[in-house]
Amino acid sequence: MNDLVIIGGGIIGGASLYYLLEKGYDGNILVLEANDALAQKATSLSAGGMRNIWSTTVNMKMTTYSINHFSEFKERFGVSIGFEQNGYLFTYYENEWKDIVNFKPRWDEAGVETALVSPEEIEEIIPGLRASLDHLDSDILEMLSISPIVGGIFGKSCAILNTTTAATTYFEYSTDKYPEKVQVRLNTEVDKIIIKGGKVKGVLTKEGEMIGCEKVILASGAWSAEILKRSEIPEDQNIPVVPVKRMLFVVSQPKSGNYEKIPLTIIDNGVYFRPEAENLIVGRADENQAPGFDTEPDRSYYEDYVNLYLQARIEGAEYCRIQNMWGGLYAINTEDHNALIGEHPDIENLYLNTGFSGHGIMEAPAAGLSIAEIIADGEVRTIPEVNMLNFERIRKGELVKETIVI
């Protein structure tokens, strides 16, 4: 009999494992991963960006914690995760700018380092970027529905990192340090969680193997609600988490300057880009993307849509051609775009750590720490605001609405 099973070998499962052991959890832990390798799903398919610029305090605190953790990762684990603190740069039009300026004191109070930057400064940070749109014809402006950039927010502690290495390090470190306590099984897909009398009793694998356990951490990202559905719980006990495809495009850099150290930058209509060796990674969340497990990348989404915004804004961006592309799944909490962290209110010993809605890399250390505290101490102590991310909030209508979502 295992004491605890973690379903999912992504960064959330890894961070949960690491922090449980750091907190002195003394039962044995079994990690079950459906794939033939760890961290191959959303974790490795992500843009690897982390920012602490948010509208909600809980997200600011979680990501600030995570940024500090990742900045010390090499000293702690002896492994380099390509952590580069080049910052995040959000750009704004006239109609949004006042709200940003008014919000700035909230970031200052929360210790989130932000600087308001002028259009001229933005042009210096991103070579070839034109804040004004004087160079464009009015029909293009109308078609793209874009406006001049009047200012930006620069978050200098924000960063990028190699997510796969970070996630696998959690597992390797844990299995090396506690070989008698931890077991990781690949190619083991959980069919359902066995629940009896409102309590976790174990899990059943797709192969039909029954694995008894006292506790389960559900860290299976976009697949979490499907697993619960198969566990035959009443519909109203299932979580509002759906898989939604998001695509990334690796494209060549514009020739307008050196892009190697630019911040992760968000321009018109939510188009974002960041350096990736001699290329750029470019993305944009398609609001028309229907939920589902399809992950096929669509070249025309970049060529006929996303690239037009790059071209309008950055000199020479028509030459930013696709070198590589992929799709992955966000686990979107449809109610408030925030994670679900904590014990399920109706199922004893079922711990949720899922629904990160596109920000699970940057919250992983804080989420791992928090679930470990909930299991060990019954509540989150280091970042108490995380307690409000329990599933109960959805039923009570106490949503934690995040407005700065990319």
Under the rule (CB under 6 A), what is the footprint of ligand FAD? Answer: 7-13, 32-35, 40-43, 45-50, 189-190, 219-223, 227, 246, 248, 328-330, 354, 356, 358-362
Contact 349, 343 (CB under 8 A): yes
CB of 101 to ligand FAD, least distance (A): 26
Give the number of other CB atoms < 10 A from CB of residue 114.
25
CB of 140 to ligand FAD, least distance (A): 28
- Give the residue with the Cβ less far from ligand FAD, 67 or 133: 67
Closest by alpha carbon to 50, among 66, 39, 61?
66
CB of 335 to ligand FAD, least distance (A): 16
Q: Tokens 């796969």 appear where?
A: 164
Question: Assign residue 270 a region: left if phi > 0, alpha if psi is -120 to 50, beta otherwise?
Answer: left
Q: What is the DSSP letter of 317?
A: G
Q: Which residues contact 216 (CB under 8 A, 6 or more apart)?
A: 4, 5, 6, 7, 193, 200, 203, 349, 350, 351
- Give the residue with the Cβ less far from ligand FAD, 151 or 342: 342
Phi, psi (deg, nearest 5) at residue 294: -65, 135
CB of 38 to ligand FAD, least distance (A): 7
- Give the residue with the Cβ less far from ligand FAD, 133 or 330: 330
CB of 5 to ligand FAD, least distance (A): 10
Contact 30, 211 (CB under 8 A): yes
- Give the residue with the Cβ less far from ligand FAD, 45 or 312: 45
- Give the residue with the Cβ less far from ligand FAD, 228 or 394: 228
End-to-end CA distance of the chain, in Å? Answer: 42
- Give the residue with the Cβ less far from ligand FAD, 119 or 297: 297
Angle between helices 163-177 and 360-377 (to 10 degrees): 30
Give the number of other CB atoms < 10 A from CB of residue 59.
27
CB of 209 to ligand FAD, least distance (A): 12
CB of 60 to ligand FAD, least distance (A): 14
CB of 147 to ligand FAD, least distance (A): 26
CB of 10 to ligand FAD, least distance (A): 2
- Give the residue with the Cβ less far from ligand FAD, 17 or 190: 190
CB of 141 to ligand FAD, least distance (A): 29
Neighbour-count burial of 230, counting CB atoms closer than 10 A to its CB (0-12 exposed, 13-18 middle, 19+ buried): middle
- Give the residue with the Cβ less far from ligand FAD, 87 or 151: 87
- Give the residue with the Cβ less far from ligand FAD, 215 or 246: 246
* List of long-range contacts for 224-232, beta carbons under 8 Å, 24+ apart: 224/331, 224/352, 224/354, 224/355, 227/7, 227/190, 227/192, 227/193, 228/193, 230/191, 230/192, 231/192, 231/193, 231/194, 231/195, 232/192, 232/195
Closest by alpha carbon to 112, among 63, 170, 161?
63
- Give the residue with the Cβ less far from ligand FAD, 48 or 155: 48
CB of 306 to ligand FAD, least distance (A): 13
Q: What is the DSSP letter of 180?
A: T
Cα–Cα distance between 57 and 324 in angstroms, integer?
36
- Give the residue with the Cβ less far from ligand FAD, 151 or 283: 283
Cα–Cα distance between 317 and 253 in angstroms, integer?
8
Q: Which residues contact 292 (CB under 8 A, 6 or more apart)?
A: 243, 244, 245
Q: Please name the residue ranges forming H helices in 126-162.
A: 138-144
Give the number of other CB atoms < 10 A from CB of residue 397.
7
